[in-house]
Chains A and B, each alone.
Chain A
Amino acid sequence: MSSHLRSLVDWLDDRTGVRSLLHEALYERVPGGARWRYVWGSTLVIAFVAQMITGTFLWMAYSPSTQTAWESVFYIQYEMPGGWLLRGLHHYMAHAMVVLLAIHFAQVVWDGAYRAPRELNFVIGVALMLVVFGLSLTGYLLPWDQKGYWATSVGTNLASQAPIVGPEVKKLAIGGVDYGHHTLTRFLALHAGVLPGLLIALLVPHIALFRRHGLHATEPLKGPDAMFWPDQLLKDSVAALGVLAAVLALTIYSGEAELTAPADPATPYNAARPEWYFLFLFQFLKWFPGELEVWGAFVIPGAVVTLLFLMPWIGRSRGGHLFNVGLLVVLLGGIILLTAQAIRDDYFATWYERTEANSDKYDASQAFLDAKQEAEHEAERVIALAQSPEKIPPTGALTLMAEDPFLQGPKLFTQHCAGCHTHEVDGRHKFDIEFDPKEFSRTAQNFGLNLVEIISPKPTAPNLWGVGDKLWMQSFMSPQLITDRNHFGYENSPFAQGEMVSFIQEAHGEELSEEERKAVDEAFASISIALWLDAGTTRLVHPDGLKELEEQATRGRELIAGGLAEVLESGMSCIDCHKYHDEGELGSAPDLTGYMSREWMIEFIRNPASERFYGEYNDRMPAFAPHDDPRMNQLDDKAIGLIVDWLRGDWVMPETVEAPLSD
């Protein structure tokens, strides 16, 4: 050391006593030498320091309100450079802390390290453990996603069942009568301020007392005494590095820390589960029916925690110590069993066949798995939307979901349309591209392909899959397809024997010469192209291809407007029944002007019995919004618009992709 540095240290030591402090900190005697089994307490301290560091930086990017919590976490995770790593480290380090805590605790009890004079330090340790659980509970809610929201909702509802003060405790915890802004502000204050403060306030005496009493050496001693620095500290550091490596590996290989769809109080989340280390508590509650709940939620857990606090005094005798060790084994064993049981219940359907005897269990598990998949699907979509140039509106990501046809269409269709209509691919379209099932939904949404099937077992109306696209138009002009169950051939269809069917079948009559047939086919092909282009469901077509089609469509439009009469033997054309722009009249068949365009479909669903559509021929389809007064209508314009956009495949495509299908 140079003399300058030495004099600087001397100066500092004179004013602070830093030398003796450092000496005291580093030259702790380790009886029997450094050992790996002494590292667990230190790894916990290092893990906590890591949480403070990652937590502080997460805090700098987090915004606690119902319109910004999910949104800011999304931004950390997907937009900020390194954000995924920061959040992943914080998330998985929290898991690691629970594991380390279990090891540290088990070791102390096993070794009887709580005996005099260390009783008080053991009590502080149990309190620290509760604080860590509190940190974990409060942290789970902060992303304000479906998972955290519904799990916390269950947790705080349980708290409200505590005797006497329960409802008040819940109100104070969530900051009001409903979950909202103040739930988040409070949970953040607890998670980032109060609980870490409490933890430090307990950790300082915990370590101070540990130093005062010295390390509880395990007999037999392996060798001569050593000093904490550098022998034990090296082992501690290596262990901490090992923990970090495990956490890093989890972050990288098990994927990023999960972010499910934004919390929505009105949308059920059937896969709500607490974090894995609380699953045992969740499972435990299934054992207490009805009002016995209070035993499962308060009395027994309360008694167990009290016993933990009393362990040092119970363990004063040899029998007492054995009791403590027995309690430890029973607790850990019970926790492992309950956790395994909870996982088995949830994943039952993936591991077992459904039988008569296990049907309830199987169905419950299947519902959980479906909900989990649905939630993943929704999360993927809303994240894709938030990443798209649309970004998140000021009203939050929930608006993004509520206004997305890709997510809302299937729900609305199931509720309002699927009683009669089916929506199934039914082998009708062949795709030029192969879909990877894992990437299924993502691919579909990117390409604007509506691949979601909602199958009605006994449809009494056309199959609405691909409504308004090219094949749809072609099918209604094909003598075979028009009468199949996807079009006019559904059960009890009044149109199966109707004028349109006989017109199409006669037009393709068997007596046509080859030349005439070719002309008829060409005419109908042009007409279907014209209708298709007017409907505007051409998003999958390459712009160059569209230009070529436009020529054919021009010819098609002339044919619809009367030209077809010259091609067909019957001398009839579309406008003899349909109206098309200025030609033809309304009253006997639907208007072909903008047939299956967005506007046309919305008006059709509003009132299919209007003169513009089926008029008196409409025998079954309800009018969903025939009135000007919205109170009289079953569906509002927004809902109808979402259904129509979904059917037509009109939704925000998150990535710019080359159109996979071109004609």
Chain B
Amino acid sequence: MKEAKTARTEIKTVSWNRRTFFEMLAAVVAGGVAIATPLVAGVVTFLSPLLKKNTSPKVRVALLSQIPDDGMPRSFPIVADHVDAWTKYPEQRIGSVYLVRNKGEAEPIALTAKCPHAGCFIGYKPGDDLFRCPCHTSAFKLDGSRERGDAEVAPRGMDRLPVELRSVASADDNEAVEVWIEFIDFQTGHKEAIRTA
């Protein structure tokens, strides 16, 4: 047993010449390619999410008549078509937005419910004078600014989304004003609002 082992591990060296050099080179290259090819194919696929871009759909959120100018935040779901890899969800709820219309204002402001700190869902209880994040206790005034400024865990106020009012007329001659917003997703954790790419 012992003898066999020694025999097998006996070190033999090769003499260097051009032939063996090319042999070695060929061995390394061939073996390397054999292993690298599947690896590269895998890595490319693995990295493919980096090429995906975030879209910011424009979404109809509510009728203007649903948001009286009483300065009270009202929560509305964002409903849009959503594609997740191979599945397309028609009219899926993809997020939530608070609309606030102050006294005498024609247009509401839209605040996304995603916390600028770590992306938790900011809550609002009717009657409260603050929005509150349930995770790390950030609090925001009803205009979205931070209650305690820089002492707040959140690095910036709630993100405002662009609002657009659109009049629609139906076939039966009725008119209504719709509230549309551009549902932009912002990066969390920064002082500035940076769109996720």
Chain A interfacial positions (CB closer than 8 Å to B): 17, 65-67, 150, 153-154, 157-158, 160-161, 167-168, 171-172, 174-178, 180-182, 264-272, 282, 285-286, 288-291, 293-294, 345, 360, 363-364, 367-368, 371, 415, 627-629, 631-632, 634
Contact = CB atoms under 8 A, between A and B. Distances in A.
Q: Report the 8 A-B pairs with minimum CB-CB distance, sorted nearest first.
A: A268-B121, A266-B93, A161-B189, A180-B84, A270-B134, A629-B170, A157-B119, A181-B85
Nearest to A269: B121
A67 B92 CA distance: 14
Contact of B170 (A172, A364, A627): A627
Contacts of B196: 167, 177
Contact of A177 (B54, B117, B153): B54
A138 B32 CA distance: 32
**By DSSP majority rule, is chain B's interface helix, strand, loop, or mixed?**
loop
A67 B121 contact: no
A628 B197 contact: no
A285 B119 CA distance: 14
Most buried by A among B52, B122, B136, B196: B136
22 contacts: A66-B84, A150-B121, A153-B120, A154-B135, A161-B188, A167-B197, A168-B50, A178-B82, A266-B94, A269-B121, A270-B123, A270-B134, A285-B118, A286-B136, A291-B189, A293-B155, A360-B137, A367-B123, A367-B134, A368-B134, A629-B172, A634-B63
Contacts of B15: none
Contacts of B13: none
B22 interface: no
Contacts of A289: 150-153
B52 A171 contact: yes
Given A154-B120, A172-B47, A181 B84 contact: yes
A177 B53 contact: yes
Nearest to A161: B189
B50 A628 contact: no
A537 B154 CA distance: 50
A182 B84 CA distance: 8
Contacts of A293: 117, 153, 155, 189
A663 B132 CA distance: 48
A654 to B, nearest CB: 25
Contacts of A150: 120-121
A161 B190 CA distance: 8
Contacts of B172: 627-629
Nearest to B155: A290
Interface in B92-124: 93-96, 113, 117-123
Interface string B53-89: 1100000100101100000000101100010111100
Nearest to B125: A367
A181 B89 CA distance: 13
Contacts of A364: 132, 134, 137
Given A181-B87, A265-B94, A272 B150 contact: no
Contacts of A174: 49
A656 to B, nearest CB: 33
B171 interface: yes
A160 B84 contact: no
Nearest to A157: B119
B70 to A, nearest CB: 11
B57 to A, nearest CB: 12
Given A177-B54, A293-B155, A628-B171, 18 more contacts: A66-B84, A172-B46, A172-B49, A176-B84, A178-B82, A180-B87, A265-B94, A268-B96, A268-B113, A268-B122, A269-B121, A272-B134, A289-B151, A289-B152, A631-B60, A631-B168, A632-B168, A632-B174
A330 to B, nearest CB: 23
Contact of B118 (A154, A267, A628): A154
A269 B120 CA distance: 8
B164 interface: no
Interface of B: 1, 46-47, 49-50, 52-54, 60, 63, 65-66, 75, 77-78, 82, 84-87, 93-96, 113, 117-123, 125, 132, 134-137, 139, 150-156, 168, 170-172, 174, 176, 178, 185, 187-191, 196-197
Contacts of B66: 634
A628 B170 contact: yes
A286 B137 contact: yes
Contacts of B153: 285-286, 288-290, 293
Contacts of B151: 289
Nearest to A67: B87
A367 B113 CA distance: 16
Given A168-B50, A175-B49, A364-B134, A153 B119 contact: yes
A360 B168 CA distance: 44
Contact of B95 (A266, A291, A631): A266
Given A150-B121, A289-B153, A291-B190, A371 B134 contact: yes
Contacts of B52: 171, 176-177
Nearest to B137: A364
A234 B189 CA distance: 52
Nearest to B147: A360
A153 B115 CA distance: 12
A634 B66 CA distance: 7
Contacts of A172: 46-47, 49-50
A266 to B, nearest CB: 3
Task: Among A172, A270, A294, find the residue whose CB has the most chain B CB atoms closer than 10 A.
Answer: A270
A180 B83 CA distance: 9
Nearest to A66: B84
A290 B157 CA distance: 10
A605 B24 CA distance: 83
A489 B14 CA distance: 107
A171 B49 contact: yes
A632 B191 contact: no
B165 to A, nearest CB: 14
B123 to A, nearest CB: 6
A270 B85 contact: no
A628 B172 CA distance: 8
B134 A631 contact: no
A286 B63 CA distance: 38
A262 B166 CA distance: 35
B197 to A, nearest CB: 7
Given A158-B118, A266-B77, A289-B150, A182 B188 contact: no
A634 B60 CA distance: 12
A368 B189 CA distance: 23
Contacts of B132: 363-364, 367
A17 B172 CA distance: 91
Contacts of B82: 178
Contacts of B121: 150, 267-270
A272 B135 contact: yes
B49 A158 contact: no
A13 to B, nearest CB: 10
B41 to A, nearest CB: 16
A285 B134 contact: no
Given A172-B46, A272-B134, A180 B85 contact: yes
Nearest to A173: B49
Nearest to A273: B135
Given A171-B52, A271-B134, A627 B174 contact: yes
Nearest to A155: B118
Nearest to B121: A268
Contacts of B78: 266
Contacts of B113: 268
Nearest to B122: A268
Nearest to A283: B136
Interface centre among A367, A368, A632 (most CB of B within 10 A): A632
B169 to A, nearest CB: 9
B7 to A, nearest CB: 16
